[in-house]
Amino acid sequence: MNNRPAKAPYSVDWDQSCDTMVAVGGATRGGNTVFAKNSDRPYNEAQPLILVPASDHSGGNSGTQFADVPQVERTYRHVGSKPYWCAGYEHGFNEHQVVIGNEALPSLLPEVSEPKLVGMEVLRLGLERSKTAEEAVDVITGLVSEYGQGKFSNDAGVRTYDNIYLIADPTSAYVVECVGHDWAVKQVESVTTISNVGQLGKDADRVSPGAKSVATRNGLFEMGFGESFAFNKFADPANSASGLARQCRSEAMLGSGAGQLDVRSMISVLTDHSDGENPDEPQVVDVAGDISICLHRQTGDSMGASTASLVADLCATDERLPVYWTGLYSPCMTVFLPNFIEGDLPSVLGIGPEAESNDSPWWDFYRLTHHGLNAGADARAEIRSELSVLQNELFESAYAIATEGRNLIGNGANGAASELLTKYMAENAQRVISKVKSMIPATTSVG
Q: Catalytic residue numbers?
A: 18
List, as one string, the DSSP characters of 175-242.
Answer: EEEEETTEEEEEE-SSEEEE-SS---STT-SEE-TTHHHHHHHTTS--TTSSPPP-GGGGB-GGG-HH
Helix, strand, or coil here: 321?
Answer: coil
Classify residue 200 as exposed, middle or buried by CB count within 10 Å of its CB (0-12, 13-18, 19+).
buried
| Cα–Cα dist 354/383, whole Å | 26
In this structure, which long-range contacts are made by residues 213-219, counting pairs with CB atoms below 8 Å and at least 24 apart in sequence?
Answer: 214/109, 214/179, 214/180, 214/181, 214/182, 218/108, 218/109, 218/110
9: left (phi over 0), alpha (psi -120 to 50) or beta: alpha
The partner residues of 37 in beta bridges, in order of sequence, read 20, 310
Phi and psi of 371, rounded to 5°? -60, -45
Number of other CB atoms surrounding residue 419 within 10 Å: 14
Classify residue 201 as exposed, middle or buried by CB count within 10 Å of its CB (0-12, 13-18, 19+).
middle
> Cα angle at 351 between 346 and 353, to 5 degrees?
170
Strands (E), 285-386: 304-313, 323-328, 337-339
| Cα–Cα dist 296/233, whole Å | 30
| Cα–Cα dist 265/192, whole Å | 14
Residue among 50, 48, 41, 49 at smallest CA distance from 9: 41
401: left (phi over 0), alpha (psi -120 to 50) or beta: alpha
The partner residues of 227 in beta bridges, in order of sequence, read none
| Cα–Cα dist 396/327, whole Å | 17
Contact 343, 197 (CB under 8 A): no
